[in-house]
Structure 1
């Protein structure tokens, strides 16, 4: 199962999977375009892109930075999501999804600076 992680200003959506048996987490990136989507896929921890369509090398490098910089949080959310489904008498009960995090690139910040903006206002920004 895939879960939304963040949405960039250009409507690019990044999603992550439940943990896989080999310990990896699948990452899917989609961007709407006329008549469909640009798409790219990778797995953490290697973050090597495959099945890419419509993204330039520069855009993939930018996405790699985002995914690698957020890998610890993505792993944690993936583990929590993987534990989240409970099975009762052939019915699956799933807790509400984690809040979607939307990122926007600050126009006046340094190149590549990203400021998190949480879609769910009740969520707090973790302090590091």
Structure 2
């Protein structure tokens, strides 16, 4: 999380020859990069982020998944 409360998210899916990738800034949901995903896939990924933003922001504030879970 940066000093203004923004979190950079990067989602990658392996495909033959590389990765599809989506970059997004939360909490504004501004897409910064989109390579290889269809619009339907982007919509589904953005829906996933909207449904989980509260957890993502909490984990970012507390030092990541390892610090916010019982791992």
Range class of TM-score, shorter chain = 0.7 to 0.9
Query: How many matched pairs?
Result: 69
2: distance between equivalents of 1:48 and 1:56?
17
Moved over 4 A (4+): none
In structure 2, runs of 5+ residues without a counterpart are: none
Point out the structure with the larger strand share. Answer: 1
In structure 1, runs of 5+ residues without a counterpart are: 1-18, 83-96, 100-121, 124-128
Q: Deviation string for 1:85-127 (max 9, x for gaps)?
A: xxxxxxxxxxxx529xxxxxxxxxxxxxxxxxxxxxx77xxxx
Task: Give the TM-score normalised by structure 2.
Answer: 0.84
Task: Please tell me the root mean square deviation across aligned C-alpha atoms, in Å.
Answer: 2.0
Point out the structure with the larger helix share. Answer: 2
**Shift of residue 43, structure 1, vs aligned partner:** 0.6
**Shift of residue 22, structure 1, vs aligned partner:** 1.6
Q: Deviation string for 1:31-72 (max 9, x for gaps)?
A: 001111111100111112122100111111111111011011
Contact 2:9 2:26 in 1 (8 A): yes
SS in 2 for 1:64: helix
Q: Between Structure 1 and Structure 2, whose CA radius of gyration is higher? A: 1
